[in-house]
Amino acid sequence: MPTAPQPGTVRPGGRTARVREAALRAAGDVLAERGFDALDLAEIARIAGVGKTTVYRRWGTVGALVADLLDDMAEQSLPRARTGSVAGDLRENARLVVKTLTDPRQGRLFKALIAASLCNEQAARALHRFYATRIDEWAGCVTDGVERGELPAGTDPRRVIADVSAPLYYALLNTGEPLDLRAADRAADAALAAARAGLA
């Protein structure tokens, strides 16, 4: 017997799609401005201009709403670069991460989503899916680099991409060091050097 889908996992169309878009936009705004603790389904319904019953029926919990927001963000993310070299591709990846994290809204939103993942299991699973989706998208840069002979055979594409963004998120959440193009290029170059040395 088939099981019913979990709240927030069905991809709707038509009017339902517009309701979802409005609710997710409202949730993102509240997260960016006030954080996860401020999320309330009734308030999201009011801000989005949709029925409270509809929001409760569709998501049920703020965790499910955050999970759907993250899934939507993964779907809307930009495709990976194709510069013709693994060095160029990794720098483009790092620069996209920096651009996202330094955006006035997106930077605060990601901090709130990371905080949400620490106290809500649904949000945590969705954040893991988000990063897995983005890493898988950019892993092709490394695979292409291996095929062109720029990196050793057996290089783990997902590890290299994770190594690019890790120091950038560390700076965002821990050290407060500037996130700029120089930081992006340094992170990409370090990941590339490690991969060329066979450490990935």
Q: Tell me, what's the pLDDT at 78?
A: 86
Number of domains comprising the chain: 2
- Let me know whether 179 and 87 are in one domain: yes
Q: Tell me, what's the pLDDT at 89?
A: 98
Q: Does residue 4 sit within a domain?
A: no
Measuring CA to CA, which residue among 48, 44, 43, 58 is closest to residue 22?
Answer: 48
CB 87 within 8 A of CB 188: yes
Q: Model pTM?
A: 0.85
Q: Tell me, what's the pLDDT at 5?
A: 46
- Let me know whether 63 and 82 are in one domain: no
- Let me know whether 28 and 82 are in one domain: no
Cα 58 to Cα 16, 20, 24, 124, 133: the distances in Å are: 10, 9, 12, 19, 24
DSSP state, residue 153? T
Q: Tell me, what's the pLDDT at 200?
A: 84
pLDDT along the chain (200 residues), means of 10: 45 74 96 94 96 94 94 90 97 97 93 93 94 95 97 97 96 92 98 95
171/179 Cα distance (integer angstroms)? 7
- The CATH number that applies at residue 176 is 1.10.357.10
Q: Would you state the structure tokens that stand for residue 112, as one six-digit string?
A: 């709130």
Long-range contacts, stretch 99-104, CB < 8 angstroms, 24+ apart: 101/168, 101/169, 101/172, 101/179, 102/179, 102/180
- Helices 157-170, 181-196: axis angle to 10 degrees equals 150
Domain boundary among the residues 24, 40, 69 is at: 69
Q: Tell me, what's the pLDDT at 13?
A: 53
- The CATH number that applies at residue 36 is 1.10.10.60
- Let me know whether 98 and 50 are in one domain: no
- CA R_g for the chain: 19
Tell me, letter by letter, the H, E, C secondary structure of 6-29. Answer: CCCCCCCCHHHHHHHHHHHHHHHH
Q: Would you state the structure tokens that stand for residue 38, as one six-digit string?
A: 């401020």
Domain boundary among the residues 69, 86, 115 is at: 69
60/18 Cα distance (integer angstroms)? 18
Cα 178 to Cα 32, 72, 151, 185: the distances in Å are: 20, 28, 29, 13
Instruction: Please tell me whether residue 47 adopts helix, strand or coil conformation.
Output: helix
